[in-house]
Structure 1
Amino acid sequence: MVFETFTRWPRLKAAKEPDPFEPTPFPKLLFRAPVKLLLYHAYHVITSLRSSPTPSDPTIRVVCISDTHNHTPEDVPDGDILIHAGDMTNDGSIEEIQKQVDWLASLPHKEVVVISGNHDTYLDPRTRPSLPEERRTGSIDWKRVHYLQHRKLTLTLALEPPNSDSETTGLLSGSRHRRIRIYGAPQIPACGPMSVHAFQYERGKDAWSETVPEDTDILVTHTPPKYHLDLALPNGMGCEYLTTEVERVKPTLHVFGHVHWGAGQEVVWWDGTHKAYMNGMQVKQGWTHGIFDPWLWWDVIRLGYRGLRGLIWDKVWGGQGSHTIVVNAAQMHGNTGKLGNPVQVVDI
């Protein structure tokens, strides 16, 4: 009887702890982080008012998915490049991965690019032994799918002119070419057992600095950059070192998944507004929850001032500045086990 009491207690205690991959209710956030909540919403209101980035000419249409977990979305829009940002499967066996690869290879997109997620166990040699032997014996036929694991891929695409007529459509003579450089990396801050979940590193450690090639146009990761489409409050489930690395490289597009509730897309403008946002979100709060922290309030003021300047520069003078379109392409609707989020489409 005593043994049962001591073995059950940790499980009961753990069951009461909130799941960091579930959204925190608004009233609780208002109590725990009122100033950061203001900072968060002010940042997103300001950035939403800025003009959308102008795609290059010729335009490449990128279709983004992630976290399909053995499912196959019924309606995947057409495009030039299809990107899957990891967690193709649940258990990560060869059989599960192969089924997803077969489906991806059957889609009509010109190019298909895939990285691993933490559930794609077989693809990480460190976690592969956790699979039963019969589920990890053999190899994967990637077909026409480009699998990127800390690797850069350069593609040259033949693209239709914007107003091409039906007689020239699809003809090489009526097309223009554009080269695009894609880099993919699967590592994530630890969220489960190291022996089971693939490509994990201890949270708080730097697994990103100086790892992404500077000429990268599209970056594909499984983890989000911290405080961007990652359930930023109260703590953020992304990686702060990845955020810094993305700012260093400034790719045109960054595609990821992992945090299902963060699905969507936004534009990150690498300016003083973003710097004030990041500084404020990283402030460690005391028992006053930031209400009496002058530095946190100063970041709120700076964000408003810098944001207003950025809006004037954009709307009056037509300037845009350096930016990255960030996309959380998770298909899984929260932690329901069912698909429900829309496929993300971006023109670059």
Structure 2
Amino acid sequence: MVFEALTPWRTSKSPSKPAEPFEPTPFPILAFRAPVKLLLYNIYHLVTGLRSAPNPSHPPIRVVCISDTHNNIVKDVPEGDILIHAGDMTGDGSIQEIQKQIDWLASLPHKEIVVISGNHDTYLDPRTRPSLREDQRSGVIDWKRIHYLQHRRLSLTIAISPEDHDGSGSVNSRTHLLSQQSRHRRITLYGAPQIPACGPMSVHAFQYPRGRDAWSETVPEDVDILITHTPPKYHADLPLPSGMGCEHLAAEVKRVKPILHVFGHVHWGAGRETVWWDGCHDAYEKGMNTKSQWSHGLFNPWLWGNVIRVAYRGLRGLIWDRVWGGQGSHTIMVNAAQMHGITGKLSNPVQIVEI
């Protein structure tokens, strides 16, 4: 979510008014307004959630993912090889607020730290920087050891010793021998901050009009980890009733198929899911994209057809996984927002992924 803790006017308190787009819609309203899509959503997440977790490479790289800290400090950040912050470090986006977050992040023990901007990090977008007071935009940011990605590709070489991830806290003789042969893994990241418009263009950074394609052919094909601030549409983005992510980003992620996609922005969507690039996913997105202007989709054969395809294709993929051990092409998607809804508190769990 974007505005909840910082611009309270976004929150509807009246039960007679519909929920704001960045707030979860109550289940009874969803059941009335979009019953078939609600069924489609739950079948898709049931069959994909029962599949095995993707197997990481060996040795694995441990990626710690956070986002949407809004000037707050995350306590007890878990250790890892790479720490990623997917934007909205600040509230007002002044240079002073940004520097405080950088100072904190740079003090953490992770081997590499990668950061992108969010729409609240106003100073980092030259188009919105003039909205800050002069004292809020004077000075120079010291990024220290942090890699800041703004439409930029980055390649990192990570040295990994076996004991880094053995989980035992001890090193036996065999592990000690192997540790003398620490492996190096090369990983490629790409970060981009742009989001569909959700506030004043002169204040909120890196926005483009909702519906405009700001993504096609922008992400390098060799990217292992993609970092954006907005979610892709229909994945960890409050997908019902209409989805708050970007459909063009979703298409770009499908084209590139990174191992890991980290984002934030929609606080209520925090969590992770694995997207398997197969017929089940295709039917899910087609069904979610179906427009039903009457009867809430109850008599829409195209929508019901995609519900059946999701169930059939999903069950077939589940059997292929659980019986035959096949996994197939996939992307782990992580909404790493730390801010919990409109509470103003960082209570969402830090996401850790091994790839």
Task: Tell me the distance in 2 between the aligned counterparts of 1:38 and 1:88.
Answer: 36
Q: Secondary structure at the match of 1:183?
A: strand
- 2:158 is paired with a residue whose SS is strand
Structure 1: give runs of 5+ residues left out of the alignment: 1-10
Instruction: Describe the shift of the 1:38–1:81 C-alpha distance in structure 2 as closer, same or farther (beyond 3 A).
Output: same
Aligned to 2:339, which of 332, 335, 342?
Answer: 332
Conserved 8 A contact 2:162-2:178: no
Q: 3-state SS of the aligned residue for 1:289?
A: helix
AA partner of residue 335 (structure 1): I
Deviation at 1:85, TM superposition (A): 0.1
Structure 1 consecutive aligned stretches of length 4 or more whose deviation exceeds 3 Å: 13-17, 166-174
Residue segments in structure 2 that go unaligned for 5+ positions in a row: 1-9
**1:165 corresponds to which letter in structure 2?**
V
Letter of the 1:114 partner, please give it.
V
Asked if 1:94 is matched to 2:100, the reply is no
Q: Does 1:143 align with 2:144?
A: yes
Is the contact between residue 86 and residue 257 of structure 1 (CA under 8 Å) also seen in structure 2?
A: yes
| Distance change in 2, residues 1:169/1:204 (3 Å) | farther
Offset, 1:336: 1.5
The residue correspondences of 1:1-348 to structure 2 (distance < 5 A) are 16=17, 18-162=19-163, 165=171, 173-348=180-355
Residue 58 of structure 1 and its aligned partner are, at CA, apart by: 1.0
Aligned length: 337
TM-score w.r.t. the length of structure 2 is 0.92
Structure 1 residue 169: Cα displacement? 6.8
SS in 2 for 1:254: strand
SS in 2 for 1:306: helix
Q: TM-score, normalised by structure 1?
A: 0.94
Of 230-239 and 303-312, deviating more is 303-312
| Residue type at the aligned position of 2:107 | S
Equivalence for 1:3 = none
Could you tell me how far 1:337 is from its partner in structure 2? 1.2
Give the whole-Å Cα distance in 1 for the aligned partners of 2:209 and 2:303: 28
CA–CA distance in structure 1, aligned partners of residues 329 and 20 of structure 2: 35
What is the rounded CA distance, in whole Å, between the counterparts of 2:323 and 2:181 in structure 1?
Answer: 38
For 1:266-293, what per-residue CA distance to the aligned partner results, in whole angstroms no more than 9, with x for missing partners? 1000000000000000011112100010
Task: Describe the SS at the equivalent of 1:174.
Answer: coil
Q: Would you say the 8 A contact 1:92–1:120 is kept in 2?
A: yes
Q: CA deviation at 1:113?
A: 0.2
Distance in 2, Cα, partners of 1:108 & 1:58:
20
Query: In structure 2, what is the Cα distance between the partners aligned to 1:327 and 1:18?
Result: 24
Secondary structure of the structure 2 residue equivalent to 1:312: helix
Aligned-partner Cα distance in 2 for 1:296–1:261: 26
For 1:313 and 1:42, the matched residues in 2 are separated by 17
Distance in 1 (alpha carbons) for counterparts of 2:122 and 2:307: 42
CA RMSD after TM alignment: 1.9
Say whether the 8 Å CA contact 2:22–2:266 is kept in structure 1.
yes
For 1:170 and 1:312, how far apart are their aligned partners in 2? 40
State whether residues 160 and 170 of structure 1, in contact with CA within 8 Å, keep that contact through their aligned partners in structure 2: no
Is the contact between residue 114 and residue 147 of structure 1 (CA under 8 Å) also seen in structure 2?
yes
Partner-residue secondary structure (3-state), 1:327: strand
Alpha-carbon distance in 2 for matches of 1:246, 1:35: 26
SS state at 2:84 partner: strand
